[in-house]
Amino acid sequence: MMNQRGAKKRAQFVPWRSAGNRTETGGSADEIVRSTGWVFNNETGSELTLEEFVATGDKEVTRYMHQFGFDADRLAPLTLLEIGSGIGRMTASFTEQCANVIAADVDAAFLERCRETVGKHGRADRLTTTHVQDGSTLALANDSVDIAFSYITLQHCQRNDALGLSREAVRVTRSGGTVLLNYRSWVISDVFLIPAGILVRLLWRMPAIGKRISATRWATRFGWQANRLSPDEVLQDIIDHSQKSLTDITVYHSPFQVRHVSHSNVQVKVLKRVNRSHWWLVATVRGA
């Protein structure tokens, strides 16, 4: 049974396939974190326990929710969708704070481990999961969540998938709800990183060495740099293809990287402790 699951075709890049396969080996939660945790948070080391891994997510959830204006009372009655939950690093904290949490990921094996993580360090009774089988479509009804959240996920998707998931986030968020979506845009270092990423992804496809390279942290950090999207590109795609609209739009960026947005009625603000290549789209969804 386990071998059959591991043999199924995975839509995501090779490192995620490799990490997904390793989550199916039956190892302990701590072993899984040590072998795959860097896929979901590249600052973590190889000796973290699951508890320590989740603690890094707790800190970031608390920080970002506070920065975006969501205190405990405001979060308590809400349903939150996390796009790119992985094995539950941040999901556990969301279940402690929200009434309902939907964890979405491209890999079903990650979602199994996510449920295990939340069972140990969160509120499993508040969690449901959804498998993003095609990489860009959410199997959720319209207007089914209050917050759509994604962090360090969309930059690792193919461009069209990242835009598709952004539109899906808007679709499933109720009118009056909020999207909190994290992206990566161009910086000077991308002159090197993007060509290196293309080369590494080509190496992943080579039968003799692809799997071995995909399991190494240095190669994956190059290869997973799949797209760069500007605020104008994301906003225009939503305008062109979504039946809903966004209001109260704020683009948050690092104090070390200036962001320009040509769309009207968009606030651009600095947010401390943000990677200089990252930016956040925070906006209210309005019905069609």
pLDDT tens, 23-72? 444 555 545 444 544 444 544 445 678 888 899 999 999 999 999 999 99
Pick the more confident residue, 189 or 280. 280
Confidence (pLDDT) at 194: 62
Q: At what angle do helices 108-121 and 29-40 cross, to 10 degrees?
A: 120
Confidence (pLDDT) at 228: 86
Span 162-182, mean pLDDT? Answer: 98
- pLDDT per residue as tens digits for the range 194-249: 666 666 666 666 777 666 665 555 555 555 556 789 999 999 999 999 999 999 99
Q: How far apart are CA 172 and CA 132, in angstroms?
A: 14
pTM: 0.81
Q: At what angle do helices 159-172 and 231-241 cross, to 10 degrees?
A: 60
Sole residue written with tokens 């090197």: 192
Confidence (pLDDT) at 109: 85
DSSP for residue 84:
S
Q: Look at the domain 2-189+227-286 and name its fold.
A: Rossmann fold (3.40.50)
Instruction: Tell me the H-state helices in 158-216.
Output: 159-172, 190-204, 210-214
Half-sphere exposure of 15 (CA within 13 A, CB side): 29
Confidence of residue 128 (pLDDT cuts 50, 70, 90): very high
Mean per-residue pLDDT over the chain, rounded = 82
**Token pair of 202 as six digits:** 């080509």
Confidence of residue 259 (pLDDT cuts 50, 70, 90): confident
Span 116-139, mean pLDDT? Answer: 96
Q: In the chain, how many H helices and how many E strands? A: 12, 8
CATH 3.40.50.150 positions along the chain are 2-189+227-286
Confidence (pLDDT) at 110: 87
Q: What would the DSSP string read from start to end of 98-166?
A: SSEEEEEES-HHHHHHHHHHHHHHS-GGGEEEEE-TTSS-----TT-EEEEEE-S-GGGS-HHHHHHHH
**Token pair of 107 as six digits:** 């890999």
Confidence (pLDDT) at 50: 84
Confidence of residue 7 (pLDDT cuts 50, 70, 90): very low
